Each structure stands twice: as C-alpha cells, then as structure tokens.
Chain A
C-alpha cells in the first residue's frame, strides 16, 4: 500500500514535470513593405513556409505601392525594411529617410521595359510623345537612364503620372503613346492593339537592381537581426529556384496572376545568390550603379541632395553582415 502510493505520487510528479515547458522566446517582429514586383515573391514564400520564423523573425509584409508612403513610414519609424530599387532608395534617402542598402535581391532581366505603339521604333522616336509611368519610380529612372545613355533629354517627352498598378490600365485605355512599367503590368499593357514591348531591361541589364534596404539605426544597433532576415531571404530564394512549380502555387495569388503567368514572369529577372554578391568586385559594381543613378538625378530638376554611395552601401557594414550569414 505504502509503496503503491509512493509510486503513484512519483508518476504524477513526473507527468507534471515533463508536461511543463520552458517559455518560448518571442520572435522579433519586422515590418517590411514593397510594391507588387514579382522578384520579391520569395518573401511571401519564406513567410508562409516558416523560413523566417526559423530565424526567429515574425515578418509582417505590407503591400505599399507608393514610394512616398514608404518614405513617410521609414521617417516615422513604422517601417523597418523594404525591398526596392536603388533609384528609389536615393530619392527616399535624399528626402530624409535614413536607410541603407544591405543585400541585392535581383536584377531586372526583361521584366522591366517600355511598351510602345508600333510607330515608335527607337528611343528618339519618343520625342514629343506622351509616356505613362509612375513618377519618381523605377520606371521613371529607367527611362531617364535610357535617355541619358542615348544623349536624349527627358524634357522632350510628356509624362502622364499614374500609380504603379494603374499604368497598364491607363495605357490600354488609350492614354499615352508609350508606357514604362514592369511585370505583370508590362505584359498587360502590351495587350493594347498596335503596341508591343519595345525595349526591356534585358537589353540593358544591370541597371535596375532591387535591393533589401533597412533603417540605418536598425542595421547599426542590431546587425544580427538584419543578418537573420538576409539568411531567411537566401533560403526562400533558393527554395523558389529549386521548386519553381511549388513557388508559383504558393505565391501567384499574392500578385493576382495565374501560376503559369508567374513562372513566365519570373524568367524576366535574375535573383542574385549569396556567393555571387559576396565579393568586393560586386560590392563595387553595386556602388557604381548607385553613383550613376545619383549623377543622373543630379541633372534633373528638383533632385535630392547629394548622396554618398559609401554611406548607403557601406562596405564595413556589409562585411560584418555577410561574414556570418552562413
């Protein structure tokens, strides 16, 4: 009797003891915003598959189409990170948003471009024409870059400014002779009869670079958090590359397109993997693109103040982040 009681009590204690768990560490919440660009889809993928959670990060993805809104959110400290193009980074930084670029995401390789009516054969033919685009956005910068390379002036074209997700619809409705946008809008715009995709980033690769940008104070105070975010990204990107069908199935819905359309549009970009970008030569090339953008912008009216490329793409910070990624 006595021994039975002792055994019963021991079993009860063990059960209670085993049942209790140590408290779990709360994951770090990161607010990240970006436009509806297909190259950012691995963020959705990684969030849904738990890759960021494995890094101890609760990723809150905010779909914010307007760069000015993201700028304001950065200034207010509400936004921690964004995925965006280098030209918009320059704009925001010039307008007071202290953000730095920490990682390359992709190069546009055909997914950005100009759709134009058939009578427009060269860039010079755009002179005197109306062009629909999202002003002060990557499309705006891309057009400026192309004109710059050809020695043309932006003043020779009239801009019809639209929200990024309205550019294609506006062009299809007959507004403008050309439109500058990115996929899926680019393909949608080319559905206007008598038009075709006239020129894409495949013809000018390396200029439209999407990067992961974070608040400067976050990168300095908590580089480990930024590193974990980057690690989650690389894992998600690898998964998307290795499982394209599955990636399409999981993320096409966030862009309102079919899985086949998703796979087709993914072919228009090149994700940059860890090995490819983690070299001094690549970091230098990255800053060169930024400097080019700054020089183009400095020639435009109402441009932002001078940007120091080394502050925005900081080699010391990058070295610290990249050396412990693996």
Chain B
C-alpha cells in the first residue's frame, strides 16, 4: 500500500475513533440523565397517588366508623337484641340509609348486618334478608373497620369495593352488627387516571393482588378487573414487597420493560400493603427518550462529516510527501538498470531536496568508473571459460577412476607407476603416494614371475606389444603385507607423448578361487553320498529319458553311457506305456514330487516291487528338465500287507456277531429302567395321596383345638392329633423304606446347622422320657463343625429312629449323643464325622447283631408286641447312611445297653449362608399380603386360616395354576402386589415348579417370595424347589408354627440368592442371634433363664436392677427386654417408664411377674410394657413371646 493511502487511512481511523468515543460517551451520559429525570418524575407520581389512595381509604373507613356510631343506627339495633324489630323501625332505618347513600356520590349501597350476618336494613330493599355471614366485609369488620378488595358483585354485577365497620353498644360494648358501604371505583379512578405530567403516553393505574388492573386503562377499554398485567415491574413489586416483605417506598432502580400492551416503557411502582395493591406509573420509552433522538441525529451527522474532512486533509499531506520520494525511486531504478546518466529533479529545499542533490552527484561518479571495468570484465570472462572446460574433463576422469572396483594402474615406458587408483590402493595396500614413481614389476610381481616380465620389457618399450598385451590373464600378485593373491589382469598399451605406456586393469580373484574350490569339494562329496546309497538312485533327462547320473547301486559297475531308464529297468527300448505308472511321466505331468509303486527288474535282472520316488528339477521356464529318481525295494512289505488284509476279514465277521448281543442287552436295560420309574412314580403318587388327606386331618385338628372345647373334647382331640401324627410316621417309614430299597431316592444337598439339628431331635424325644428315670446328654466338642451340606431331613430321620429305639428299650440310666471328628477336612473340603447314640437299655443279643439292620427284623419279635414298631427303623437308617457314603454298626451287650455308631463324610457349608436371613417377628407379619394356590380345597382353607389368624392379609386364592397366574397379574396391575405366595407343587395342568418360573418372569415378579408346600417329600424336592425359584419349602402336612416360622424367615431373607429356607432353617434362625436383655434380681431365676436361652440359642445379657437395665439399654442394642416387675432400687415399672419417656427407646418389653391379675397387667401396660409372662416361666411361653416380639 502506498504511503499516501496509509497516511490517509491512519488519519481517518484516529479521528473517527476519537469522535465516536466522545459522541458515544456524551450520548450515554445524556440518556442516563434523561432516564433519571423521567424515572424520578414517575416515582413521584406513583408515590403521590398511593398516598392519595391511602387518604381516600382512610376517609372511607372514618365515614364508615362514624356511620356505625350513629345513634339512629345503634339504638334500633340495641332495641332489636333478643326481639324482632318492628316494621316501622326497619322502614325508618332503610329510609335513612337510602338518604345517606344518595348524598354520597361514590357510595352505591349501604346496608346493615346483624350479628349472624343477615341483612336487616339496606338502602336497596331487594337485599333484605340476604345471608352475608361468610362474606369478608362481615368477617373482617368484627374488630374494626375493614376494606374489602375490589370485586364484581355477583348480585348487582357492579365493580366496587366495600368498607365495613362493627356496630357496638356504647354502654355495654356488646357487638350489635356490622354496617357496610359499597363504593364505586369513581374516586379511585379519578386519582389514578389523572395524567398530568405524563405526556401523551404515560399513565398510572392500580393493580390488585391477582395482577388485574383495577382502574381504567388510558389505552384500552373495559380493563377493570379484566386486564391481566404481567410485567417485570409488577413482578418486582410483588416479589420484593409482598413476598420478601421489603418496606414500600420510592424505587431506586428504573425499569425498562414491555407493558401490558407490549410497548417498551419506563416504569416504577408503589406497593400498598394494607390492600395488597400496587400503583404503577409508566411512560413509553419512545416519548421519554424523544429529546435524545434529536441528539442522535446530530451525532450521526458529525460522525459522517468528520471522517470526510479528515480524509481530504490526510490525502493532501500524503501527496506532498510521497511525490518527491517517487521521483527518487524512479532514478534509482534507472541507475540500477544501467542507465548511469539519470538525474533527479530537485524541487524543494527540505530533507527531500538534499537527498535529490546527493543522488545526482552519485550518478556522475558512477558513470566514470563504469567504462574501464567493462573491459576488464571481458578478459576475465574468457579465461574463466577455458579453465572451466579443463576442470570439467579432469573431474570426469577422476570420478571414473575413483568409482572403479578394479585396480587401474598406468606404467610409463620405464616401468614406473604413474597412475594408481583408489581400488588399487585397497587391493594391494599401497597408497598412491607410496607407489607412484616405483618400479611396478619389482613391487607387485611374485619373484618367480619377475625374470619373465623383465625379459619381455625391451620389446614392449619399443613396440608396445607383448604376450600379455590385449589379453586377460590369471596371475599372482603380492600385496604390501606380503600375501600373494590371485589376480585377473587385462593389459593394454597406449602411445602418449611419443612413448609407449601400459594401462592395466587388475581384479582380486581370491574369493572366486575359493568358491571354485568349494564347488569342487561339494561335487565330490555329493558323488560319494549318492554312491553310498544302497538303493538305486538316478538322475534322468526328462526329454530323452537318458540317465544323466546313476549311483553304483543302480549301475552295478556297468557303464550306462546313453542308456535310457526304461532300458535299464524294463529292458525295453520304448518308454513305459499305460500298463503301469511311470514316475517320469507323472512328474512331468504333475510337476511335483510323486511316489508310485512300480514292478521292474533290479540290477541283478530279477523282477521286484519298488516304491519309486520322483523329484522334479525345473529349468528356467518352469518345465521339468530332469528328474531325480530313488527306488526302494518293497517286496517284504507287500507280503505283510496281504497277511493283514486276511486278518481284517476275520475280524469283521467277529464284530457282526457281538453287535446283536449288544442290542439284546440294551433292550433288557430299558425294561428294567421303565419298571424302576414306574415304581418311583407309584411311590410319589402314594406319598401325595396319603399326605394330602393327612394334611387335612392334622390341619383341621389343630384349628379345632383352637376353638372353645370342654376338657373331654380337648382330650379326644389330643388323641386324634397324636394318633394322626403316629400314623403319618408309620406311613412315612413304609414309603421311605420302599424308596430307599429301590435305590432311586435322591438326597438333598442343602446347608444346615448340625448342632441345632442334634439339639432339636433331642428335644423331640424329651417328652417321651416323662416318668422315666433317665438322664440325657449331648456331647459335642468345640472343634466340631457347625454348618454342613447334606440332607438334614434324612439325618434327622436317622437320629430320630435311633433315639426312639433308645427311649423304647431303656427303662433307666441314660441316653446320649456323642459327636466326634473322625477325620478333619481334606483338600476337597469334606470332613468325616462320627456320631454315637448310646443308651443303657436292654442291649442286643450277639446272635442278632448281624441282622439287626435288615428290614422287618427285630432282635426279638416279642419286643414288637411289647415295644411296638414296624421293624423298618434300623433298615431305613442303614439305607440312608449307605446313601450318604457312610457306614453304621452297633456295639452292644445284652443287659448293658447299646452304642449305635455312624461314620459318614460331609461337605462343610459356608456359615455366611445364614448371615443375611433375619426372620421378622411374627407380630410384624400383620399387614403382609399373601396369595394361596392349591388345587385341594381343604388344604387351601387350612392355609388361609393360619394366615388370617396371624394377621396376614390373603389377597386371593387360586385352585390351579392357570387362574393363579392371571390373578397375580391382576393384583400387580392394581398396585396390590402380594409379598409372598404359598403354592402347592403337585397340581394338574401346570405344576408348582413351572408356575413359580412364570411368576418370577413377570415384570416385578422377582420381588414376590414363593414358598412351596408339597406332599412329595421323596426325592430332592427342596433342591428342585430352589432351582425353580422358590424361596421357602415346607412339606405337608403343614403345622401352623412351622408355616409362620418359614414365612417370617423368608420375608426376613435379604440375600440375593442362596439355599432355600426350610422349616429347619427357619427354626434354626428364629432364635439364632436374638439378643435378649433380662432384668432379673433373683439368681435362681437368672440360672433358669440362662438355660432356656441356651436351648433357644439366643444371646442373653442380665441386669439385676432396673437402673442397671436402663444403663445397658443406653449403650447396647437388644431385640427384646424381659423385665421383672419387682426389683430393688428402680423396679420394673419405673424402669419401663424411663425407657419409654426419657430414653425414647421402643424395644419390646415383656413383664415377668407372678401377679397376673388384670390390675397388675394394666399397670405394666400403662408403664409402657408390651406384654407379660407369668412366673414360673415356661419355656414354650418364652419361646412364643420371643417369636412374637423379637
């Protein structure tokens, strides 16, 4: 860009920038001042009008109060108290009200309400009798004057507001009623619609708490209570003054926003808190900023003009500077181009003029020196040209000699070296500086060759000819290190400056010689190797079949000359035809290695079998040029093959015979399996068919026992129950035995607590010891494992059978169970355990010991009549122990007692399997929701009864799988998903397993707990139930306590997955880890409780006083508190009160008291206790309370 342009732009930019900044600043300032003035004006107007409104409202209220005090109103109302007013009085009142209303322009109605809110007098007679008891002006005016917000009267359809005041008896102060005056909006409108000081677009208006304009709009008709004002200004007013409770006052920040018309306005507001009204003052920004518009026009004018002027000035200045500079530039260009006589005009006397003068002087001096320089330059140019040509050719020669890999040597006529290239230096070890000028032959030639070379020299010196000239010879030469090397020499002569000179090119052929020697050695070695082969080896020409090479085994000493392969091996002059495979033909066709069997003559002339191997040798075109052939005599192998073939035929015949035998065996096996399956199915059906009615008998028996019965009925029912249970045991024995005998039973493999199991089975037989003088003991060492994997039901059966026998056959003495670890756990995690059931009974005769475990055998058949029994118990034990992989035997002495010993392997279970199951208290089962699915009507009824008695809500009952699934879906859709489903397994159409799977697959169905109720207790049903998604498992017949325990355990099971909860698991867990605080001062009672808790497997902590119990509760967590009522220091009642009221602890507290009369029990409950047990404490009672509350 030219200087003139740069200067112009620069000036333009600077001036424009400065002017814009200045004008903008002034504009903003002016705008700000204008805004402040207008805003201040609007603020003043809003404030003023708000004050006038307040004054108006106060005036109305004063008028209303004055009216309420008027004697002509007070007196009639006073007289009316307790009695109806006469017509005359009322008419006079109405007339007075009417007169006053007419005098007041703003009021359009005045009426009086009695204390019940009824209109008893009015300026508008049509209003008489109206009930206004719920209206604001009645309710608000009971303590003083009240102003009701502007509203549209539903009766008169007029906009207005009301002012009311209470009417009191001046003497007694009693409240006589309320006087109400309704006003039009005329006065208010007058205040707000006065627009002086607001120009043509400004206005003030009033807005109510709902954002509706109360007064008339300047711009829109029918705005009153219709027009919704939703502006930033109004929102600010409500937000700051109404919501944030800021005091009303003049606003400090002007707001610019869109008003209710959508016009841009400046606005402010004044909030009136007593009425929740806002006075809004606004003016259109267009009008407000009109003065600014004029300034804007001037601003733009100056902004346009100034840049033009500045541009013109800049352009003039620029031209004044740039013109002389241009002239100077032109002169320099000319001189640079060679025109040295150029002059520049001097047009000024400033710095630019001085530059022009100096330039002209320089141009003159330049012209003088140019001429001599030109001549010199010509001469130099010519010489340089010549030298360049010479240099170029020298360089080419140098490069050629340096690049050559062979030694290039020149020798002059006297035999001295005159040229020695870098290759010669490398080959011979002499540098050029060392050898140039030396005699060549005496240095390089081996001594034995020197005489001959010297002899040839004279002739060559004269003629340039010699034996070696023009030839390539292999010679020997000596290097600088004295080593003689073979070389190849190409020698020629050249006549240079009248003298013959020799030029030799020499190559070191040491490596070539070595390779030649290696090739020769390899050839000899190959020959030896081929000849060492004992089998014929040939190389045959593929085109003419001639044998190119043959080893001794092939040739056998005879000369092969041009013999063909077919001549040698087939004694034929013709190549092999199609009668047999020709290896050469095949190799030529397939162009790869081939093997074929061939019968031909051996070198001795005998015809033999050969295995011929052919290897192709390819020429450059990829065709087979030759073949390497190698033949192996295979006569012996052929004979062996024949023998094998014959033996194979004999074997095939033998196999056919054994196949038919195998088919016969297969048929026999299938028949046996079918029979076994039929038996299993029969037994399973039998189990189901027997258990189902048994369930009804025992179940209804239990329910009947809960109804009011007399003593005799209770005795009969007890007998029915015990007989039913006995019958069930007998049936179980028979069915079990059949199953075990058939060997088709599958044991469960679930986790269980062996210590608990042993304790539990012992508890079962304790009642049978009643009346007998028999001690009992359980000996389980500390290192004995607690949790095992196995079939707890079957193990329980074994112990029950053995213990029942012990009880049966022991009259006095002791019965005990001893457990030991036989072998500790091995690498597979299995531990071998030994259990002994020992008694001091009648013992077993020695001759019967061998058969004691056989079915239907007893030691003495007379014992059957005396002691009872089917004789299957021990047989069942033996079958079960055997199934577990163990063994059982007995050691006994008649009259001394028996010791039944079981040794069996068990896998250890992970104790954590129970960690996440915390059964809920049965009290907390209330409100839980369940569904019952069972095809048996009686079974359903029993289960339903058990649930309802426990407070569990039964949402639905289904008699089969198909309806059950639909019902579950309906319940879930209705938002009434059951917590659990009690489900029979053996049902028609779809069994319980598949139904369980369907339910779990429903969306949300995974949360529903499923408990299997089944009569099929034969074959691994617990494990199968777990596999199909059941959470709990209970065999029929169902006992109520077991059902509730399993439900409580399943609902308290927080595991994501894990072993199924059985009745045994539930029983184990119900009390396990429960922490009980027992407040009891009597040591004997403490001891008793300690024993009970040990049996129940609960953790127990003791406190001897109420105070100690309170302290323990402050620092520890317990599931239940047993509180003795009578204790020293703080007794149980006081302690319970403190626990409830001060500690705010909601732990269940069970009172323990000998005084179980109603008053005492009430006192306990009032103190905050939840229940009680009577002294002496019975274990079952304690168990029941823990079950219920803990």
Contacts and interface: CB of A to CB of B under 8 A. Distances in A.
Contact of B210 (A1, A58, A73, A166): A73
A64 B149 CA distance: 11
A281 interface: yes
A255 to B, nearest CB: 13
Interface in A141-181: 161-163, 166
Interface in A271-326: 279-281, 302
A29 B975 contact: no
Interface in A57-102: 58, 60-62, 64, 66-69, 72-73, 75-76, 78-79, 96
Contacts of A302: 131
Contacts of A161: 117, 133, 139
Contact of B974 (A29, A66, A281): A281
B140 A78 contact: no
A15 B1 CA distance: 29
A1 B3 CA distance: 13
A72 B151 contact: yes
A53 B467 CA distance: 118
Interface string A4-44: 00000000000000000000001001010000000000000
A1 B228 CA distance: 59
Contacts of B143: 166
Contacts of A163: 139-140, 142
A96 B228 CA distance: 22
Given A280-B974, A281-B974, A69 B136 contact: yes
B209 interface: yes
A47 B209 CA distance: 17
B208 interface: yes
Which of A78, A161, A279, A280 has the most chain B CB within a 10 Å cutoff?
A: A78
Given A66-B139, A135-B134, A161-B139, A76 B975 contact: no
A136 interface: yes
Nearest to A279: B975
Nearest to A96: B154
A47 B131 CA distance: 38
A66 B136 contact: yes
Q: DSSP majority for the B interface?
A: loop
Chain B's interface size range is: 20 to 34
A60 B235 CA distance: 9
B240 to A, nearest CB: 13
A161 B178 CA distance: 14
A163 B139 CA distance: 6
B133 A29 contact: no
B975 A68 contact: no
Contacts, number: 67
B211 interface: yes
B134 A68 contact: yes
A135 B133 contact: yes
A31 B154 contact: no
Interface in B1-46: 1
A73 B225 CA distance: 10
Contacts of B230: 26, 29, 58
A89 to B, nearest CB: 15
B135 interface: yes
Chain A's interface size range is: 20 to 34
B974 A60 contact: no
Contact of B154 (A72, A135, A281): A72
B1 A1 contact: yes
Contacts of B208: 78
A266 B1 CA distance: 81
A91 to B, nearest CB: 9
Interface in B111-149: 117, 131, 133-136, 139-140, 142-143, 149
A31 to B, nearest CB: 5
B211 A29 contact: yes
A68 B211 contact: no
A201 B401 CA distance: 122
Contact of A78 (B117, B135, B225): B225
A60 B276 CA distance: 13
A215 to B, nearest CB: 12
Contacts of B1: 1
B243 interface: yes
B152 interface: yes
A61 B238 CA distance: 9
Contacts of B133: 135-136, 161
A62 B225 contact: no
Interface string B189-228: 0000000000000000000111110000000000001001
Given A72-B151, A161-B139, A62 B210 contact: yes
A47 B212 CA distance: 21
Contact of B149 (A69, A166, A279): A69
Contacts of A78: 208, 210-212, 225
Contacts of B149: 69
B136 A60 contact: no
Interface in A93-146: 96, 135-136
A69 B133 CA distance: 13
Given A31-B211, A78-B212, A78-B225, A68 B131 contact: no
B139 A58 contact: no
A61 B210 CA distance: 9
Interface string B298-337: 0000000000000000000000000000000000000000
A81 B1097 CA distance: 62
B225 A281 contact: no
B154 A75 contact: yes
B765 to A, nearest CB: 53
Contacts of B209: 62, 64
Given A68-B134, A161-B117, A31 B210 contact: yes
A279 B974 CA distance: 7
19 contacts: A31-B211, A60-B210, A60-B211, A60-B238, A62-B210, A66-B139, A67-B134, A69-B151, A72-B151, A72-B154, A73-B210, A135-B134, A161-B117, A161-B133, A166-B143, A279-B974, A279-B975, A280-B974, A281-B974
Interface of B: 1, 117, 131, 133-136, 139-140, 142-143, 149, 151-152, 154, 208-212, 225, 228, 230, 235, 238, 243, 276, 974-975
Nearest 3 A/B pairs, CB to CB = A78-B210, A68-B134, A279-B975
Interface of A: 1, 26, 29, 31, 47, 58, 60-62, 64, 66-69, 72-73, 75-76, 78-79, 96, 135-136, 161-163, 166, 279-281, 302
